[in-house]
Structure 1
Amino acid sequence: MTQQEKTTTSLPPPSRERSRAPAQARKARILERLNLGGSISVTDIAQEFGISDMTVRRDLAELERDGLLERVHGGAVGLTRGPLTVIDDAEPIFEARSRQNAERKARIAQAAARHVAGRMTIAFDLGTTVLAAANAIVQAGPDPQLRAFSNSLRIGMTMARAGIATYMSGGLIRAEEMSLTGKEAVDGFSRYYFDVALLAASGMTTEGVFDYSPEEVAVKTVFLQRSAERVLLMDSTKFRRISTVLIATLPEISTLITDAPPPPELATVLDAAGVRIIVADPLQPPNSPG
């Protein structure tokens, strides 16, 4: 055997695992699947990420140690008590968020457009689902007397191009979100009152509704305080998730429009808080009745 052959045969065998997703991404996916109900298996997660069963078991052990799930033979189940919580501390870019759960958001947007039909003053928070709702309102043919208020430049342009009277504030522009923030934005919107506010958030638990940015939350707070009805547009993947800032407690929300019923423990608290829950219908094909 040559020296080259010795060197080659002494190398460890190549790993059978594909390029791994970061551990945090794997754990978030595990908890997201549990959040939707039922259980998960070690085999399914291993196949999804192309990793070994041992790596999955290590992830599950760490999540169990953090009190986020309960391991069972061959996999894991959600906690039988208390909220199953995923902590998000980094805001995904707007374009990436707009592609996530697009069908769910489209359903919510159609339901929101129907819900606010006939309202004369609507405050639009920023966010991909609220932007989808703005587009749905435009497509539905809004009342010509409608007045729209928003700190989102994307939503402002959408409404203005449709011929809707659109009001925005001053403030500092967050380039990625294309939103107006800061004291000028807060003071500007504090002069108005709204029939309804359409709001977005990054997560909801029994403690309340959460989002990433303190700057954005300051404007959300004004919309909450100045609106007769506070409508939260949130897809079901955000249930039992928390983030950097608490926007509002559940009693501060009037209506939740979502794509699937909340988990039982969250639904119970929402009911006690007097929050109306609207589960969006399947998407209507173009030009279909209803």
Structure 2
Amino acid sequence: MLARQRQARILDEVRRAGGVRVSELTVLLGVSDMTVRRDLDQLSAEGAIQKVHGGAVLGSHVTEEPGLEVTPTSAQPAKQAIAAQAARMITPGAAVALSAGATTSLMGRHLASIPGLTVVTNSTAVADAVCSSDADKQTVILTGGIRTPRGALVGPVADATIGSLHFGQLFLGVHGMDPVAGYTTPDLAEAGTNRALMDRAQVVIMLADSSKWQTVGLAGFGPLSAADILITDDGLPDEARAVLQGAVGELVIVPALAEGCRS
């Protein structure tokens, strides 16, 4: 097992149990105490975990689930720019899917002016945004399901609906993206529904502003390489750009809009 594979397994165990002991990891991974400690040092340096005596717990940047209303104001210009760029990738008459999230909700407003769309979404906020004007131009399919605090419709009802559909492009908002953890969300059921959406899309387009870099939620739904296209903003650090350019199919970086601007 490669170092990154071991570290991903360790991170999974920490998330699952809330903490792990070095002695437990040596048995689980079949490696030496020294190897486990090196892996913990690496994960600690990246902020994914916090080392404690004899083991590790979740790091300080591993976050809980926010509602849409707590999106930082400072991130709004970047989200607006990403949403506008994503909407420009859609052609009239296409069948597309949008996940729940602040950026996808902003994107929905742009779709209101694109005629002939069929939009699949597991978010009532996205559906409302798409239908904000000229509603007769689009068909909106809501998946149904259990609503999370983030406004996502998830669970077996949502997954079953998604599993019966096919769409060209999926625009997927992420809570966090990290070299080890990949794309994550704080909600286990939402992670499952995100994977269901990814399974039915021809092209997976991740939408993640630069503040999402090295943020890790509870549940992962794919490695960085799961994105055919990743759209982010120019606040992304140079080292993050290098990692993402080597991992995703195509990295699209847009300049963040000034406050109050709209595309």
Amino acid at match of 1:195: G
Task: Tell me the equivalent position of 2:87.
Answer: 113
Aligned partners of 1:65 and 1:186: how far apart in 2?
Answer: 33
Match of 1:225 in 2: 199
Tell me the alpha carbon deviations over residues 83-122 of structure 1, each in whole angstroms, 9 at most, x when there is no partner. Answer: xx86323122221116451111111111111122446011
Aligned partner of 1:191 in structure 2 is: 164
* Residue identity matched to 2:247: A
Deviation at 1:217, TM superposition (A): 1.1
Q: Equivalent residue of 1:91, what SS?
A: coil
Distance 1:283 1:167, change over 3 A: same
Pairwise CA distance, 1:160: 3.2
Structure 2 Cα separation of the partners of residues 205 and 258 of structure 1:
14
Q: 1:45-97: per-residue Cα shift (whole Å, max 9, x none)?
A: xxxxxxxxxxxxxxxxxxx994358xxxxxxxxxxxxxxx8632312222111
Answering whether residue 217 of structure 2 is matched by residue 243 of structure 1, we say yes
Q: Hey, what's the Cα distance between the residues in 2 that align with 1:180 and 1:130?
A: 14
Letter of the 2:231 partner, please give it.
I
> Counterpart in 2 of 1:155?
126
TM-score (normalizing by structure 1): 0.64
Deviation at 1:213, TM superposition (A): 0.6
**Structure 2 gap segments, 5+ residues each:** 1-41, 48-58
Q: Secondary structure at the match of 2:153?
A: strand
Superposed counterparts of 1:18-33, under 5 Å: none
Alignment match of 1:131 (pick from 91, 97, 105) = 105
RMSD over equivalenced CA pairs, Å: 2.9
Runs of 4+ in 1 over 4 A off after TM superposition: 284-288
Distance apart, 1:223 and its partner CA: 1.3
Aligned residues between the structures: 208
Q: Equivalents in 1 of 2:258, 2:70: separation in Å?
A: 25
Amino acid at match of 1:184: V
- The 10-residue stretch of structure 1 (259-268 or 146-155) with the greater mean CA deviation from structure 2: 259-268
Assess, with a 3 A threshold, how the Cα gap between structure 1 residues 65 and 227 changes in structure 2: closer, same or farther.
closer
**Would the alpha carbon gap of residues 285 and 259 (structure 1) be closer, same or farther in structure 2, given more than 3 Å must change?**
same
In structure 2, what is the equivalent of residue 34 of structure 1? Answer: none
Question: Is the alpha carbon distance of 1:193 and 1:284 closer, same or farther for their aligned partners in structure 2, counting shifts above 3 Å?
Answer: farther
> In structure 2, do the counterparts of structure 1 residues 276 and 118 end up closer, same or farther at CA, with 3 Å as the change threshold?
farther
CA distance in 2 between partners of 1:202 and 1:145 (Å)? 30
Secondary structure of the 1:277 match is: strand
> Counterparts of 1:94 and 1:282 in 2: how far apart (Å)?
20
Instruction: Give the structure 2 partner of residue 90 of structure 1.
Output: 64
Partner Cα separation in structure 2 for residue 195 and residue 65 of structure 1: 36
Task: Using the TM superposition, give the Cα deviation of residue 210 of structure 1 relative to its aligned residue in structure 2, in angstroms.
Answer: 1.2
Residue of structure 2 equivalent to 1:270: 244
Q: Equivalences for 1:166-181 in 2 at 5 Å?
A: 166-174=140-148, 176-181=149-154
Per the TM alignment, residue 161 of structure 1 is displaced from its structure 2 partner at its CA by: 4.1
What secondary structure, in the 3-state scheme, does the structure 2 residue paired with 1:204 have? strand
Matched to 2:176, the amino acid is: G
Contact 1:86 / 1:240 at 8 angstroms: preserved in 2? no
For 1:87, what is the secondary structure of its paired residue? coil
In the aligned structure 2, how far is the partner of 1:215 from the partner of 1:177? 12
- Runs of at least 5 residues in structure 1 that lack an aligned partner in the other structure: 1-63, 70-84
Larger Rg: 1
Where in structure 2 are the equivalents of 1:58-97 lying within 5 Å?
Answer: 66-68=44-46, 87-97=61-71
Q: Distance in 1 between matches of 2:250 and 2:221?
A: 18
| Rounded Cα–Cα distance in structure 2 between residues aligned with 1:130 and 1:269 | 24
User: By how many angstroms is 1:268 displaced?
Assistant: 3.2
Given the alignment of the two structures, is residue 254 of structure 1 paired with residue 228 of structure 2, yes or no? yes
> Would you say the 8 A contact 1:125–1:200 is kept in 2?
yes
Partner of 1:27: none
